[in-house]
Amino acid sequence: MIPHRPILSSLTLGLLGIAQVSATALTAMLGANERSCYYADVDGVGEKVGFYFAVQSGGNFEIDYVVMDPEDKVILEGVGEKQGDYIFTANQVGEYSFCFENEAYTSDKLLDFDIMVESEPRRVLSAQQQPLKEHTSSLEESTYKISGLLSSITRTQKYFHTRHHRNYSTVLSTQSRIFWFTILECVIIVAMSLIQIWILKTFFSRSGR
């Protein structure tokens, strides 16, 4: 019979073996003709770095971006992108930069973005804990499945969040256009009425003479 203490310690090691994740979720307003950069530290070679962004409102929802390593070497870049979701492996230790550029556009942009640094430490089992490897492996597999499902739910929520903001921005833009079109229509109707009155007045004045 296996004592309870090794089981507990093995389960603890299994939980500690789960990927440690540090993430930053931000919402930022980027003005017209502006550039904004954010930074994330990577402590070890081989760590996974996740980068997600989506333009919520402003213009045609386009933005330029560039991701660089500690030596300012370009890893990812894009022009006129509406959103992106990338994962890459860090080959160097240091500070990675994530920059958004709105210099080519004249409208302010509302951005949602996540920067995630994930490390996966390995479990080291002693000889006494080797028989419990199958149990911890099953636990880890179940945990990774749950983590994958949660990631899928998070991505779906981000998608609907982005769609909501873009649709709301489109509605506001349409309302503004309708309002100014109505004002212009009223001005044209008033101008046409005044012109007709002036024409009739001029016609009858000439007829009287």
- Residue-range domain boundaries for the chain: 17-121
User: Quick check: 5 pLDDT over 50?
Assistant: no
Q: Of the segments 4-13, 45-54, 165-174, which one has the largest average pLDDT value? A: 45-54
Regarding beta strands 109-119 and 20-30, do their DSSP bridges make them parallel or antiparallel, or are they unpaired?
antiparallel
CATH number of the structural domain 17-121: 2.60.120.680
Residue 97 tokens read as 């930069």
Q: What is the pLDDT of residues 179-197, one digit of tens each?
A: 999 999 999 999 999 998 8
- Long-range contacts, 155-161 (Cβ 8 Å, 24+): 155/85, 158/52, 158/54, 158/112, 161/54, 161/56, 161/112
CB atoms under 10 Å from CB of 6, counted, come to 14
Give Cβ neighbours of residue 129 (< 8 Å, ≥ 6 apart).
6, 9, 10, 13
Torsion 159-161-162-163 (CA) sign: positive
Bigger pLDDT: 166 vs 128 = 166
For the chain, the average pLDDT equals: 77
**Which of 95-109, 134-148, 174-188 is predicted with the least confidence, judged by mean pLDDT?**
134-148
Check residues 164 and 47 and name the one with the higher pLDDT. 47
Q: Residue 191: which H helix or E strand, with range?
A: helix 133-208
Q: Which helix (H) or strand (E) holds 111?
A: strand 109-119
Q: How far is CA 68 from the centre of its chain?
A: 18
The predicted pLDDT at position 161 comes to 76
Percentage of the chain modeled with pLDDT above 90: 23
| pLDDT for 17 | 42
Q: What is the pLDDT of residue 209?
A: 53
The predicted model scores a pTM of 0.60
Task: Read off the pLDDT band of 73 (50, 70, 90).
Answer: very high
Least confident of 65-79, 143-157, 163-177: 143-157
